[in-house]
Every structure is written in structure tokens, then in C-alpha cells.
Amino acid sequence: MRVFLFDLDGTVIDSAEDIALSLRLTLEEIGKSDRMPKDVREFVGGGVKALLERVLGDEFREEYVHIFRRHYLANPVVHTKVYPGLERVLRELKGAGKKVVIVSNKLEELSREILRRVGILEFFDLVVGGDTYPEKKPSPLPVIRTLEVLGEEPSEAVMIGDTEADILAGKGAGTKTALALWGYVRLNSQKPDFVLRRPEEILSLA
């Protein structure tokens, strides 16, 4: 593989505690503290709107997305950390001349800022967020557009993520796909090309 496309939350960074913190503050502000889930990891993947829709169901309102984002922008890296072993993997991929990219459903500027704060922004050739293109994962569009920007073929790329949205986006774009078992894994019927138990196993795809 020449191109390594990474999901962000649950794949490169463990951000669940900070997402939970912002969710808790949001639910408190809108008077729905009783809807706070025990484990936010079960609801992550798909972006802020999808998170709130899963948590609130019929009680979801569009304005809650803005409230959540306000809290998250104020507290993006309180507990967030890079998964053990991932920084070494990124360093080795870059050293081998591979192209390394983030394709997240989180806002692009926020994704970039979090990567900067945890000290690994330098490893990425490109950071694509949920607002970079008109569609986000599970649509294949962000992956397709990213490969066009890089001038690379889908057959030379692998999409690495921890949810069905990542696998669907990769498959739809024609890339190989790899499931990161160390993340907030949610997979229904989709079968990835590779199943990775530890970040170090990513290097076997290079």
C-alpha cells in the first residue's frame, strides 16, 4: 500500500472521555442529563449529529449540534491521547515514503487542532474532516476526493478505521479496508479486508 487513510476517533486517538465530557455538558444545558449513556464509545462514529441522534432519538434538535460543538471546541484535549504504538507506526510509514492521511467525520479544523495538541500533526500529508467535502463517511466521497488530491489510485490505498462507516467508505471508493480492533468497534454486516488487533500490525500492510 502507498496510501494509508486513517479514521481519527477510536483509530488514531482515544477521545471518548472528552466526547463524553462535552456530551454531558450539552445534555445538562438542554435539560436532558438523564439521557447520558454509561459508555459513550457505543455511540461514537458518524459525527456530532449522529452521536446526538443516537443518544436523544426523537428528542434530537438541530440546534443541539451547535451547543455540543461549543463545549467540545472549549475542551478538545483534556483526556484525549494517541493510542500506544500509533506514533511509532506513523513515523515508520512516513520514513518509508508512504502518504498518510486523516479522513474523519469530525470538523476539519478541529481535527487538525487536536492532532497538533497531541503532537502528531506533522505525520499527516492531509487532514480531511466531515466538513471538507459535501458528504462524509460512510459515503465514499471523502476517500475518492482525497485520493484524487493525492494523485493516487484506490488500489494502492487502505482505509483504516474502527466502525462500519470507515469500512463502507473504503469499499465504496475501491480501497482496501482494515478494522482497528483497539477502537470503539461497531461492525454489522461489513467484512474488512484486514482485521488489526494492535497498531503495530498496520506496518504489515506497507
Alpha-carbon Rg of the chain, whole angstroms? 16
For residue 131 the three cell numbers come to 466538513
* CA–centroid distance for 195 within its chain: 17
* Alpha helix ranges (H) inside the chain: 16-29, 48-56, 63-74, 86-95, 108-117, 141-150, 164-173
β-pairing verdict for 3-6 and 157-161: parallel
β-partners of residue 3 are 99, 157
Q: For residue 190, what pLDDT is reported?
A: 84
> Is 18 designated active site?
no
How confident is the model over 90-123, as pLDDT tens digits? 999 999 999 999 999 999 999 999 999 999 999 9
How confident is the model over 47-63, as pLDDT tens digits? 899 999 999 999 999 99
For residue 102 the three cell numbers come to 486523516
pLDDT tens track, the chain, 206 positions = 999 999 999 999 999 999 999 999 999 999 999 999 999 998 887 789 999 999 999 999 999 999 999 999 998 999 999 999 999 999 999 999 999 999 999 999 999 999 999 999 999 999 999 999 999 999 999 999 999 999 999 999 999 999 999 999 999 999 999 999 999 987 878 899 999 999 999 999 99
Q: Which domains does the chain have, with CATH numbers?
A: 3-14+82-205 (3.40.50.1000), 16-74 (1.10.150.240)
Q: For residue 188, what pLDDT is reported?
A: 78
pTM of the model: 0.94
Q: What's the CA gap between 160 and 202, in Å, rounded?
A: 9
Q: What's the CA gap between 161 and 190, in Å, rounded?
A: 12
Catalytic entry in 7, 14, 18, 162: 7
Contact 12, 79 (CB under 8 A): no
Contact 142, 103 (CB under 8 A): yes
Residue reference for cell 486523516: 102
Q: For residue 197, what pLDDT is reported?
A: 97
Residue reference for cell 475501491: 174
Contact 82, 22 (CB under 8 A): no
For residue 177 the three cell numbers come to 479496508
